[in-house]
Amino acid sequence: MKQLLIATLLLLSATLFISWNMEYESFAVRMEDAKTRSDALEQHVRNVCKTMRFPDTGVKKTTGYMLYDDGRKVIYCFIPKVASTSWKRLLIKITEMPTINVSTISKYDAHRTLPLLAFDKDKEEKLRTYKKFMVVRHPFERILSAYKDKLEDWEPADSVFHKMVGKKIQKLRDNPNKKEGDNITFTEYIRFISQPGRGTLEQRNEHWLPMHEICHPCAIQYDFIGKYENLKEDSEYLLKWLGVTDLMGTFPAATRPFHSSRYDPKYFGQLSHDEIMAFYAKFLPDFLLFDYGFM
């Protein structure tokens, strides 16, 4: 009986080891896939920029969305609603507070602590010589996440933002008798951000501003372009790329995760054909540049 138990435990241990080893090897392969995917996407971006003749300007504005680390000579172009808060927390730990638990860094501190390239006297040189990375997300999922976070389920700390944007949206309502302060519907929000033209300050808010207008990939060549849809593998690859292998497996989760799906009928089902087409027209460059399907 004792021998049988020992044999069973040994067999179980061997099985668990083999399973772990296979899982580790599989994850290592997926990490390498991250680089392959990024290389293919970078080439795709260059091809689309050339074919569609997207302007290669906007670098000055982009430096306002670039965080940098002089020690590792790396620049991160952050796009709101694409795990940017998690990346900022991680960069704070890497560059300024190595002993801190990233989960204790508030999102407000994360947004204020790191240095922006726009204010650095050597920004042109750093932009030319440092490695650069960015992370993108399906356009519809990103703006849906922004709606949920900022307009549907907003926190008291965001009340000024909600009121400022809400007033602008309310002016466009079909029903002028609807009380000011009533919840802004997803349809109203989509109409507001999808209006043609450059748009107002509120319509160009960074939380729903098209991604290509934030990081300008036609003007700046990035060394790595990750995707939110492959966040785990891509973040692990980037941590290795940054030389902080001790942090692999610790990428911080979002404080208020919104699992958005472009197929969610609760939201997408509200939109008319014209509203859907207006959204696609407004965000078309993001769909084309970052190789996302419409549906």
- Does the pLDDT of residue 226 top 60, yes or no? yes
Asked if pLDDT for residue 48 goes beyond 50, the answer is yes
Give the integer Cα–Cα distance in Å for 152 and 146.
Answer: 9
Transcribe 157-189 into DSSP letters.
GGHHHHHHHHHHHHTT-S-TTSPTTSPPPHHHH
Residue 249 has pLDDT above 90, yes or no: no
Q: pLDDT tier at 262 (50, 70, 90 boundaries)? A: low
CA-CA-CA-CA torsion sign (218, 224, 228, 229)? positive
**pLDDT higher for 177 or 108?**
108
pLDDT at site 153 = 75
- Local confidence band at 75 (pLDDT 50, 70, 90 cut-offs): very high
Residue of 134, 141, 136, 77 lying closest to 279 (CA atoms): 141
Residue 17's pLDDT is: 36
pLDDT for res 93 = 84
What is the side-by-side strand order in the sheet with 224-227? 66-69, 74-77, 131-136, 224-227
Percent of the chain with pLDDT over 70: 79
Per-residue pLDDT, averaged over 66-85, amounts to: 95
The larger pLDDT score, comparing residue 235 to residue 151, is at 235
Structure-block tokens of residue 265 = 């009928």
Residue predicted with more confidence, 148 or 257:
148
Q: What is the pLDDT of residue 30?
A: 57
Minimum mean pLDDT range among 148-162, 192-206, 251-265: 251-265
Confidence band of 31 (pLDDT split at 50, 70, 90) = low
Q: What are phi and psi of 46, to 5 degrees?
A: -60, -40
More confident residue, 292 or 3: 292
Is 90 exceeded by the pLDDT of residue 258? no
Tell me the whole-structure pTM to 2 decimals.
Answer: 0.83
Residues 6 or more apart whose CB falls under 8 angstroms from that of 233 comprise 27, 30, 31, 33, 34
pLDDT of residue 256: 55
The pLDDT of residue 19 = 40
Write the pLDDT tens digit of every residue in 172-210: 776 655 555 567 889 999 999 999 988 888 899 999 999
Provide the pLDDT for residue 100: 77
Least confidently predicted of 114-118, 143-147, 167-171, 198-202? 167-171
Of 14-23, 55-64, 78-87, 234-243, minimum mean pLDDT range: 14-23
More confident residue, 167 or 267: 267
Three-state DSSP state, 104: helix
Whats the size of the chain, residue-wise?
A: 295
Which three-class secondary structure state does DSSP give residue 212?
helix
Predicted local confidence at residue 116, as pLDDT: 94
Dihedral of alpha carbons 122, 124, 129, 130, sign: positive
Average pLDDT in the chain: 82
The answer on pLDDT for 139 being more than 90 is: yes
